[in-house]
Amino acid sequence: MNEKTLKILAVDDTEMNLNLLARFFSKKGHEMITATNGQEAIERFESEQPDLILMDVMMPVMDGYEATREIRQRSGEKWIPIIFMSARAEIEDQVAGLDAGGDDYLTKPISMRIFDAKIRVMQRIANTSDALSSHANELEKYRAAVEFSY
């Protein structure tokens, strides 16, 4: 499968974590934009339209769970993968992240090999979702053209 350059929104209130992610994504050829709290994440989501979101849980202003719920509400039918990355490792925390609309939940410290693999999986799923959406649009146009011709 063809891997395109991703625009990734990394949301974390710890500068060191954002710097680590920036180095990782730079080596992979992806573009990274950042937010340091949930409210900023929503604003960046609206203005930047990222391909993938990495979301911390514990942040000032608005936590990652609330930001994820709001992003899901605003994204409409377009699926944007959201991966939680948090030091909160309890089962309840992971379930809360997935219930809030997250697609995966990684606990810190994160294995970079697993992280890299998860990014590729989300990219494959997003590519498939985009292709299905495109095919559905083509079918709708075809159906409309056929109905119009009668």
The whole-number pLDDT of residue 2 equals 47
Closest CA to 100 of 141, 67, 52: 67
Q: Report pLDDT for 149.
A: 65
**Could you tell me the domains of the chain?**
7-149 (3.40.50.2300)
pLDDT digits (tens, 9 = 90+) for 111-147: 999 999 999 888 888 888 788 888 888 888 888 877 7
**21 bridge partner residues:** none
> According to the model, what pLDDT value does residue 20 have?
94
| Backbone conformation region of residue 139, classed left if phi is above 0, alpha if psi is from -120 to 50, else beta | alpha
- Do 42 and 71 form a contact (C-beta atoms < 8 A)? yes
Strand, coil or helix: 6: coil
Which residues, given as ranges, of the chain have pLDDT below 50?
Answer: 1-2
Q: Can you state the angle between helices 91-99 and 64-75, rounded to 10 degrees?
A: 20
Strand residues in 30-93 grouped as ranges (E): 31-35, 52-55, 82-86
What's the pLDDT score for residue 62?
95
Query: What is the predicted pLDDT for the residue at 145?
Result: 79
pLDDT score recorded for residue 61? 92
Q: What is the DSSP letter of 84?
A: E
